Structure formats: structure tokens, C-alpha cells
Amino acid sequence: MKKITLWILFFSLYSLTYGQVIKGKIIDKHNQKEIPFATIYFSGTVVGTSSNENGDFEIDITKYKTKALTCSAIGYYSKSVEDLYEGEDLLVKLTPKVYDINEAVINSKSLVRLRKKHLRLFREEFLGTTDNSWDCAIVNEEDITFNYFEDEDTLKAYVSKPLIIENKALGYKITYYLDKFEYYRDSKFVFFTGNFIFEEDPTRKIELTDKNRKYVYNGSRMHFFRSLWNDDLSRNRYRIVDSDNKKIKYKDIVVEDESNNKYLKYKGSLRIYFFEIESKMIVSGLVLFEENGNFDPSGIRWTGSMAGKRIADWLPLEY
């Protein structure tokens, strides 16, 4: 009996040590063909892998069992898969990207100038305009296409390949699968969405990038939601007020379900102060957020300091 108990204990420890691995295959939704060398990852982290030439993959999900697994490939829209179970093989069908735009041949001087103007605006809205943005570059800008002639008010960007971003300030390479980018000139409102994975730059200057990482973390959205989860906003120098300047407490805006999931529950505008630096979030409905600072961005619109921190100031969830 002791031997059986010891074997059970051994295998339990073995499973905990080596993690939970799931397997799957990536295929084209329309023709059912395998998609080789797709990227399978947890968006916003450093954890990921690639499918082989037959579209097969396996990945350890131990650290992010409750987070959606994202699958991306060149020429396809990304797809996220939830409810991951070890031992259950995944079959992930990706939808090809089809853009209905007029192709413009960039050869005349006027179009060259127009493209430069669009690229400059794209960089500002996508990477941001903070000090770190000066040390952040999109390696493959030539893969970006714009709607040159369709809509004078809205700038749209299209890309079938992932954008490769080198952030020397923070010491990361970011692979970003952009699904949508729109900038509205009249309102100066930008909306972009996609999935992305971080990779440590092995050549980074450790002392400098660690200092920069710490600086951008404090007062970031990640820092705010981690502080909110732990109900220690005050200790981390945060203060929240409503539109009437009434102080908002944790219990006023956080609800928890029976599975211990936490939600930001509010409808309207909240001002967030980190020391005296102001940000504003306009919340609609329930917004799921997690202990590591991950949150559902679809229910929040940001302005102020936090809104200005774009990709040049983003950190992986492991930070």
C-alpha cells in the first residue's frame, strides 16, 4: 500500500514539475489545409510556440490555464481558444484575411509624401509619443498598407504579416498580429486591436532597461489593475473619483463571482490619479480583470496619461 501511495505521489509531483501540455493542429477554415509555422501563444506574455510543417503543435499551459490561447499566422486573422484541457487535442481553424481596398502604387512623388505622412501618424498612434517611443521601431513598415483614397476622415492600416517591433528602451522584441487599426482625424480617436507576444532582447543593457521597465510600470494600466485586485490602491498612490469628484472605493466598483473572478462594475466616467498624474476611463458594464493585471479592454475607453502609453511602454504580463 505504501508503494502505491508513493507512486501516486511521485506521478503527482512529476505532473506538477513538468506542467500541463496540450496538443493541436492549425488549419485553414475554408480549404481545411494545414497551416505550417503558425504562432501559438498567450497574448501579452513571453510564452509561445510554433506549429510544424504539418500544422501540429504542443504547448505547456501550466502558467496560464485560465487565459485564452491565441493562434496566429501570416495572412490570417488570429483566433483565441478558451477552456483548455490537458489530453484534449485542439483543432483550430483560422480565417484568411481579405481586405477590400484599392491598391495604390507608391511611385509618384505625391503618393510617396502621403505614405510618409500616414506612416508618421501610424507610428505616433501605435507606438506612442513618450520618450521610449524614440527607441522603439517597427522593423517591417513596408508591409503596412493604408486606405489612400477611400475615406478622408478615417485612416485605416492593413497588414497581412505580423509587425515586428524592436523596443530598445525596454529590451523587448514584440511580434504584433494587427487585426484592425483606425484613426479618426476629426475626433483624434484611435482604435486598434490585435494579439502580440514578447521576447527578451538578449543584447539589452540590463541596468538601463530594468530602470526603464520599472518607470513605465508604475502608473500603468497593468499596475492599476494589479493594485485594484489586491485592494491596495491607496498604498500604491492611486486615487479614484467620479464625475462629481466623489472618492470611489474598492467596494464601489469591484464585484466577485462564485468562481472568484473579479469585475470592474461601473457605467460612466472615472478619473484615476497616480500621485497627481491624471487618467480617465469611461466604463460600460462589467470588465473582467485578473490578478496579473490583464483586463478586458473592450469595455473601457481611456484618455489622459494611461491612454498615452502605447506599445512603446507596454510590458509582458510576467513582469
Q: Does residue 229 share a domain with residue 187?
A: no
Q: Among 68, 94, 120, identify where a domain stops.
A: 94
User: Among the listed ranges 83-97, 159-173, 191-205, 207-221, which one has the minimum average pLDDT value?
Assistant: 83-97
Write down the pLDDT at residue 249: 95
DSSP-based three-state secondary structure for 21: strand
Helix (H) or strand (E) holding 153: none
Write down the pLDDT at residue 153: 86
Q: What is the pLDDT of residues 21-31, one digit of tens each?
A: 999 999 999 99
Q: Among 168, 200, 232, identify where a domain stops.
A: 200
Q: Does residue 223 share a domain with residue 196?
A: no
Q: Does residue 262 share a domain with residue 228?
A: yes
Q: Does residue 113 share a domain with residue 161?
A: yes
Helices (H), the chain: 2-18, 109-127, 206-217, 221-229, 250-253, 305-308
User: Among the listed ranges 3-12, 17-26, 287-296, which one has the minimum average pLDDT value?
Assistant: 3-12
CA-based end-to-end distance of the chain: 45
pTM of the shown model: 0.87
Q: Does residue 309 share a domain with residue 231?
A: yes
Domain containing residue 151: 109-200
Q: What is the pLDDT of residues 83-121, one digit of tens each?
A: 887 777 899 999 998 865 555 455 566 788 889 999 999
Give domain status of residue 267, yes or no: yes
Mean pLDDT of 41-56: 96
Q: Does residue 16 share a domain with residue 45?
A: yes
Give domain status of residue 271, yes or no: yes
Rounded to whole angstroms, the Cα distance separating 69 from 41 reads: 6
Mean pLDDT of 236-249: 96
Give domain status of residue 176, yes or no: yes
DSSP-based three-state secondary structure for 48: strand
Q: Positive or negative CA dihedral for 297, 191, 285, 273?
A: positive
Mean pLDDT of 274-280: 96
Query: Is the pLDDT higher at 153 or at 305?
Result: 305
CB atoms within 10 A of CB 158: 16
Give domain status of residue 230, yes or no: yes
Rounded to whole angstroms, the Cα distance separating 173 from 198 reads: 6
Give domain status of residue 319, yes or no: no
Q: Does residue 113 share a domain with residue 192?
A: yes
Q: Does residue 306 share a domain with residue 235?
A: yes
Give domain status of residue 103, yes or no: no
Q: State the CATH number of the domain containing residue 90.
A: 2.60.40.1120
Phi-psi region of 145 (alpha: psi -120 to 50; beta: other; left: phi over 0): beta
- 149, HSE (Cβ side, Cα atoms, 13 Å): 9
Mean pLDDT of 23-50: 96
Query: Is the pLDDT higher at 40 or at 10?
Result: 40
> Residue 249 contacts by C-beta under 8 Å, 6 or more apart in sequence?
none
Q: What is the pLDDT of residues 139-158, one digit of tens each?
A: 999 999 998 766 678 999 99
- Cα–Cα nearest to 288, from 303, 299, 279: 299
- Cα–Cα nearest to 234, from 244, 222, 221, 249: 249
Rounded to whole angstroms, the Cα distance separating 109 from 112 reads: 5
Contact of 91 with 102, CB cutoff 8 Å:
no
Q: Does residue 118 share a domain with residue 84?
A: no
Give domain status of residue 26, yes or no: yes
Give domain status of residue 187, yes or no: yes
Task: Indicate if the pLDDT at residue 16 is higher than 50.
Answer: no
Q: What is the mean pLDDT of the chain?
A: 89
Q: Does residue 225 share a domain with residue 138?
A: no
| Percent of the chain scoring above 70 in pLDDT | 90
Rounded to whole angstroms, the Cα distance separating 245 from 243 reads: 5
Q: Does residue 143 share a domain with residue 76?
A: no
From residue 175, give the alpha-carbon distance in Å to each of 187, 196, 255: 29, 5, 34
How many structural domains are present in the chain?
Answer: 3
- Cα–Cα nearest to 72, from 62, 82, 80: 80
Q: Does residue 180 share a domain with residue 144?
A: yes
Q: Among 63, 94, 125, identify where a domain stops.
A: 94
Query: Is the pLDDT higher at 85 or at 76?
Result: 76
